[in-house]
Amino acid sequence: MSSPIWYVAYGSNMHAERLARYLEGGHPAGAARAYPGCRDPRPPARSEPLEAPGAVYFATHSPVWGGGRAFYDPEAGGRTLARAHLLTAEQFADIAAQEMYAAPGADLDLTEVLATGRSTLGPGRYETLVRLGTRDGLPMLTFTAPWAMTDVPWTVPSAAYLDHLAAGLREAGAWGGAEIARYLAGRPGAAGHWRASGTALLPARAPRKRPAPQGD
């Protein structure tokens, strides 16, 4: 399980600081939960920007972030902005476990996903493994939900969660801030609730102002 793989992150784990909490353990900024960390806490050997086919959308409700979680549907049309982190298969397994609020320490059987491109290990939201091809001769893997994007209601992501996605994409260095903001604001679940304003993400509808109190 020490063999290297590319972990393709499309959600908050695109951000190096956020990913470090899964690797080293600790409490990520803006989150309501701490993480135990991986058996091997070393940072990625490399992290590279990646554009992949398919769509990212927000669904279910995260008690950690207080809003929708990011999921990836490789069969949906669209363009996904992501980061590929060069890790070990052991680290990939431990990150996947923590995503499911489980204790790290059990290796994953990658035989099926490496052979067929997909493997469903269980019904959980991040228990479906997907292979996105290879880079430098090494497999690119991610995890997502077993359902399709159109099978579930979409959920609005929180500002803190979107901040991590935006920070990770900025770190990648392949896309400008305005492009990143438009991309995130257009994801199903965020669309119609968040809008791009230059490089910033703002609520699509400003909160109503309370009427001023009337004098006697």
Q: What is the CA radius of gyration of the chain?
A: 18
CA–CA separation, 66 vs 51, rounded Å?
28
Residue 207 falls inside a structural domain = no
In a domain, 176, yes or no: no
Q: Which of 1, 44, 11, 57 is nearest to 135 (CA)?
A: 44
Q: In this model, does residue 106 exceed pLDDT 60?
A: yes
Task: Place 210 in a pLDDT band, splitting at 50, 70 and 90.
Answer: low
Residue 197 lies in a domain: no
Measured CA distances, 142 to 29, 89, 131 (Å): 23, 11, 7
Tell me, what's the pLDDT at 169? 98
Q: Is residue 64 part of a domain?
A: yes
Residue (of 146, 118, 142) closest to 60 by Cα position: 146
198 pLDDT higher than 70? yes
Which segments within 10-93 are labelled E, that is strand?
47-53, 55-62, 67-73, 79-88
- Per-residue pLDDT tens over the stretch 42-98: 999 999 999 999 999 999 999 989 999 999 999 999 999 999 999 999 999 999 999
> Across residues 110-132, what is the average pLDDT?
96
Q: Quote the Cα angle for 95-98-103, to 5°.
A: 115
Has residue 187 been placed in a domain?
A: no
Number of domains making up the chain? 1
Span 116-131, mean pLDDT? Answer: 96
Residue 213 maps to a domain: no
Q: Which of 94, 108, 107, 106 is nearest to 36 (CA)?
A: 94
Q: Is residue 34 part of a domain?
A: yes
Residues 73, 109: Cα–Cα separation, whole Å: 22
Residue-range definition of the domain harbouring residue 26: 4-158
11-50: pLDDT as tens digits: 999 999 999 999 999 887 776 678 899 999 999 999 999 9
